[in-house]
Structure 1
Amino acid sequence: TRSYSVSSPPTRPLDLQITVKRVKGGLVSNWLHDNLRPGHDIEIEGPVGRFNFDDLPSEKPLFLSGGSGITPVMSMLRALTDRASGHDIRFIHCARTANDIAFRSELEALAARFSNVDVSFICTQEGSAWQGPMGRIDGPMLLRLAPDLHQRTSYVCGPEPFMQTVRACVAEIGIAPSQYHEESFGGAVGNSMPPQSAAAGPTCVRFARSGVEHLCAPGETLLDAARNSGLYIPTACQQGICGTCRTVKLSGDVVIDDLGGLSLQEKAAGYVLACCSRPQGTVCLDL
């Protein structure tokens, strides 16, 4: 299975779209490009995560994306322009070359049609077809393209190296955490937590509804325990960001190293993220 962002807006409920870039060596992306045809049936799960404008509204949004990370912010922009909203919108997209700019024609058309929409593109590699901003995004460039950045709420998505650069930029500029929301594509997966977070003694995960008990190897996450027990927990980012793998902990303690994938209310209700939670002793999950 693979997770893809919905690129169509919620204002078009009968038009569900994903945008898939062919990736060299990618099993699913290449299969979709080579085999999927009109009339085929695909089994999908419902959308998850909170990286959307309805849950995180702002009157002055800055949509900042890199590469394939344009898909979720494109959905947000389409929703706002479908509603002809009066939001003061800045949209900045970073790509390798001009030929790699996804949705370029549509974005330019939206900027021409709506006076409250400002669109900028940045290319990291030179090309005869490109006369716009060049180079990798940094603090000064970001402030040139969005001089009122401190007044805006930023919605950022892209591959992990791009995200690391943007995080460093906003930290240097001094953007408040409440004005920054992100979703990362293609970051590290699996056991990314530090070894010292593993329990010192034996650990065990009990799956209440399944009647399964799993004795964990050192360093195993709840997600590892489920998979090694033949149980399915849906996942996406596997970094503690998206919230896809959230599950209810009925008892026991875990060390959790999430990156904002759970709200305070969800944590209070007993939810944990299976991808980045390690059991301490015996833990029982509602699974």
Structure 2
Amino acid sequence: MKLRRPPSFGPLEAVASKLGALEALATPHGVDRYLELVHPMLTVRELRAVVTEVDRSTADSVTLTLRPTRQWRGFRAGQFVQISIDIDGVRHTRSYSPSCSQYRADGRIEITVKAHPEGVVSQYLHTNAKPGLVLGLSQANGTFRLPDERPERLVLISGGSGITPVLSMLRTLSDEGHAGDIVFLHYAFTEADVAHLAELRGLAARHPNVRLVLAYTKQAAGGDLHGLFDETHLAEVAPWYAGDAQTYLCGPPGLMATIREHYAAKGIEETLHTEEFTPPVLAPLDGDVSGTVTFGDTVVENSGATLLEQAEAAGLAPEYGCRMGICFTCTKVKTSGCTRNVLTGELHTEPDTEVQLCISAPVGDVAIDL
């Protein structure tokens, strides 16, 4: 099945499509800066989205339905998009995975945002989002997605807010009429913490090949499983998982680390596909941290933290999206010095090369064009 083109925004977009020639006249701001004064969804270049529905189905999450502008090219189930919003005059960008099917008929997308205690954007959206709110939107990106040839057997595992990309996969497979075995295993504190619970139960009820398994880590009753992940959980609900099945996993670091270790121990790690949604843990450098980090006109002592963290500690506000190296929003030019990729340990010594601030730590003196 092909991705469906989202419906046109109407006469406003018809006008916008004819205004490309005005770009040169609008320099230095670009024609979109003037068009947004007429209507914030009237754009020539920029991709945006307007909130059309708001659902606060759990106490600490909000699901937003978004209608993109005409530039939207669709997405593959499991991918993520970047959402941008101005809060108190500062532009913030975050990455979220659509939770809807990639075949949604009206071309709209759903994102579910968990309100983290320290989350500026998530707290703002949870409290203030309402229909009519216009957000910046990126095209979809990411390699966490189903293969074109769908596996005959699938295990979809999620925990907490990691439910969104695998729920998108389940909805997409359901729209395709996929007949293979699917086990959807979700971990949550209690039943009240399960986002999209009614949708999940409805999908399982309508599709006999889908088995919904809810595992509650703090609720002793009501779920199908209880407690943290244990290899007996998979043996019970998907005894064929170590055979010809493919597993897709997204969740908190503890859950993901445990499942990775289990799959590696069984020698089936190639069947496990994962998506991170929390920043990587920074491994300490060998030896003492030394040197300075130069961000344009700002010079700070090297603390050993990532370049993004050190820039923020210095009072700077570089743009970023995911904080985990998947969206490239925070990419800047390193003019001199050596940096270490905190995910791989790889060192980068070449001058005038692009580095991702969120996953790069300085080794000695480093200068960044910020």
Give the TM-score normalised by structure 2: 0.59
Q: CA deviation at 1:54?
A: 5.1
In 1, are the aligned partners of 2:247 and 2:271 still within 8 Å (CA)?
yes
Q: Deviations over 1:63-94 (max 9, x none)?
A: 10111111111111111211223443221111
1:217 pairs with 2:307: no
What is the RMSD of the two structures over their aligned residues, measured on CA atoms?
3.7
In 2, are the aligned partners of 1:193 and 1:276 still within 8 Å (CA)?
no
Aligned-pair identity in percent equals 34
Structure with bigger helix share is 1
- Secondary structure, in 3 states, of the residue corresponding to 2:135? coil
For 1:105 and 1:282, locate their aligned partners in 2 and report how far apart those are by CA, in whole Å.
54
For 1:111 and 1:281, locate their aligned partners in 2 and report how far apart those are by CA, in whole Å.
55
1:75 pairs with 2:75: no
* Paired positions, count: 267
Alignment CA distance shift 1:163-1:274 (3 Å) = same
Name 1:234's counterpart in structure 2.
320
Name 2:257's counterpart in structure 1.
164
For 1:273 and 1:146, locate their aligned partners in 2 and report how far apart those are by CA, in whole Å.
39
Alignment CA distance shift 1:277-1:62 (3 Å) = same
Alignment CA distance shift 1:23-1:286 (3 Å) = closer
Name 1:267's counterpart in structure 2.
none
Decide which of 254, 269, 272 is 2:339's aligned counterpart: 254
Matches for 1:123-272 after TM superposition, within 5 Å? 123-126=216-219, 130=222, 132-150=224-242, 151-176=244-269, 178-187=270-279, 192-196=282-286, 202=291, 212=296, 217-218=301-302, 219=304, 221-224=306-309, 230=316, 232-236=318-322, 238-240=323-325, 242-245=326-329, 247=331, 253-258=338-343, 272=355
Which residue identity does 2:99 align to in structure 1? S
Name 1:42's counterpart in structure 2.
135
For 1:74 and 1:89, locate their aligned partners in 2 and report how far apart those are by CA, in whole Å.
12
Structure with bigger strand share is 2
For 1:281 and 1:55, locate their aligned partners in 2 and report how far apart those are by CA, in whole Å.
45
Which residue identity does 1:111 align to in structure 2? A
Alignment CA distance shift 1:37-1:230 (3 Å) = same
Q: Which runs of 5+ in 1 are unaligned?
A: 207-211, 261-269
Larger radius of gyration: 2
Which residue identity does 1:109 align to in structure 2? G
For 2:356 and 2:209, locate their aligned partners in 1 and report how far apart those are by CA, in whole Å.
38
Q: Deviations over 1:143-175 (max 9, x none)?
A: 222211122222111122222332333233332
Which residue identity does 1:217 align to in structure 2? E
Which residue identity does 1:147 align to in structure 2? P
Which 10-residue stretch deviates more, 118-127 or 151-160? 118-127
Matches for 1:55-94 after TM superposition, within 5 Å? 58-94=151-187
